Structure 1
Amino acid sequence: MHKKRILCLIAAIAAVLIVIFITFQMGYWPYTVPSRLKKVLAMTLTGGAIAFSSVVFQTLTNNRILTPSILGLDALYLFLQTAIIYVFGSTHLMIVNKNINFFLCVGLMILFSVLLYTVMFKRKNKHIFLLLLVGIVFGTLFKSLSSFMEMLIDPNEYQVVQDKSFASFNHMNTDILLIASVLFAA
């Protein structure tokens, strides 16, 4: 019962902070409120997805220290962004159109994950620690390949790679929030 009270208190504090964030220094409220609501939705969705994936991953590995980033999927994302810019340039439709870029990267990451897990779990010895080791190796490989391509590309295109490397709630693609929410709920 004590833990439920703490969770309720944390939820109440979060709700108050969300209201303060949405209403603080509003200015022109018909523009400000929808914009800030989208940011709150994106932050909530991102935080929920990170928390859910971390808990599931830590449960599967029976280790509270490991996070899903050890599988190297974040390095795969950066590698895909860098490779697309390296091959096609920063003005190609796959980079300029955020929706195409999102679905292409998500599709390629899912394809890579399915191929990797199919190969890894097809064997008789289905050790999750071998998968973690392979994830570390692939993560290192993808980071190295990304760094190599970043050194070869034009400095202006490198800036585009850097923009893709860091999450920003000020410059987010709000067109995919509904799709991401449905996928997260599923």
Structure 2
Amino acid sequence: MADRSLLILAAACAGAAAVYVAWGLQGPYGFILSLRATRLAALAIVGASVGAATVIFQTITANRLLTPGIVGFDSLFVLIQTLLVLGLGGMGYAALPAFPKFLVEILCLCAVAVALFASVLRAGSSDMTRLVLTGVILGVLMRGLTGFVQRLLDPTEFALAQAATFASFNSIDPVQVAFAAPILILALLLAWRLSPVLDVALLGRDGARSLGVDHERLTMAALAVVAMLVATSTAVAGPVTFLGLLAASLAAAALPHWRHAVLIPGAALTGALILIVGQFLFERLLGLQSTLPAIVESLGGLVFLVMVLKRRTA
């Protein structure tokens, strides 16, 4: 049953991708197909990365209300963009080669994420209050530093920094997509290798250790994969905080299964499907009258509030 549901999700993603690429296609075909294929790849990479990362993060933290995006990834990304504009200037930032910029963002996001997770969770995944508070405080600190740095920019540089800090799929660099795809594939393979042990981790720290699982080592390995996935998606399109929660919740509803070999690809496919269908609706049918990340964030935040209220009344 679970395999059939995964096949349905995969078929839905393939169908949505085909419709997105072929809808209203007119000449010049080569240029338009290249543009749409690049944007489609970015949508799939971001959706799959965030969806899979959220499932792993929720298992390790033993909390279905959390998503990696709430622990400061978006604030760090905004700070990195602002510092690059300050250091290089508007012209230098605009002329920055795509690969070095992408590499710096990936390395910074991964390094800070692993350092944060390692320091906060070294006592075990049950210390979730400290994780959330640490992430929120670091996010506030980085937003404050960003605001201070932005005051040092001239109006043109400020506008450039602002534009670079919002999630967008309208101007995707194909070089970034080409480098992000192998990272996504590697991270998903690592997640698939960890899926049997993640199943045991559902029993909790003590239960997993009683079955011979090195819980601390599993936690760090899983969080390293989460850092790779979230850093990749953020570097490609910018921060989308609540997309992962939306994708993981819908995947859990569509695939009522506890095996991570099913949940992780299910959440990845669901995240990709949400972005592809959403971008098609806004781009083809609504004429870009709104922005997809804003709607996704609103829906994800609403899902978060519903889950919190349901848990409080349970």
TM-score (norm 1): 0.85
- Residue correspondences, number: 183
Q: CA deviation at 1:115?
A: 3.6
For the aligned residue pairs, the C-alpha RMSD in angstroms reads 2.3
Q: 1:41 to 1:23 in 2, by over 3 A?
A: same
Matched AA of 2:174: T
Deviations 1:15-58 (A, max 9, x none): 22221211112112222222212221111111000101111111
Unaligned runs of 5+ in 1: none
Q: 1:38 to 1:132 in 2, by over 3 A?
A: same
Distance 2:10 2:139 in 1: 36
Residue 87 of structure 1 is matched in structure 2 by: 87
Residue 48 of structure 1 is matched in structure 2 by: 48
Residue 98 of structure 1 is matched in structure 2 by: 98
Contact 1:72 1:138 survives alignment (8 Å) = yes
Matched AA of 2:148: F
Q: 1:22 to 1:172 in 2, by over 3 A?
A: same
Distance 1:34 1:94 in 2: 22
The range that moved more, 47-56 or 25-34, is 25-34
Distance 1:110 1:164 in 2: 19
Distance 1:19 1:80 in 2: 35
Matched AA of 1:18: A
Q: CA deviation at 1:14?
A: 3.0
Greater RCO (Cα-Cα under 8 Å, separation 6 or more): 2
Residue 32 of structure 2 is matched in structure 1 by: 32
Matched AA of 2:15: V
Q: 1:24 to 1:104 in 2, by over 3 A?
A: same
Query: In structure 2, the residue corresponding to 1:86 is in which secondary structure?
Result: helix
Q: CA deviation at 1:79?
A: 0.7
Distance 1:107 1:58 in 2: 23
Q: CA deviation at 1:149?
A: 1.8
Distance 1:20 1:74 in 2: 31
Query: In structure 1, the residue corresponding to 2:172 is in which secondary structure?
Result: coil
Matched AA of 2:13: A
Contact 1:75 1:142 survives alignment (8 Å) = yes
Residue 15 of structure 1 is matched in structure 2 by: 14
Distance 1:66 1:21 in 2: 31
Q: CA deviation at 1:7?
A: 4.1
Identical pairs, percent: 26
TM-score (norm 2): 0.53
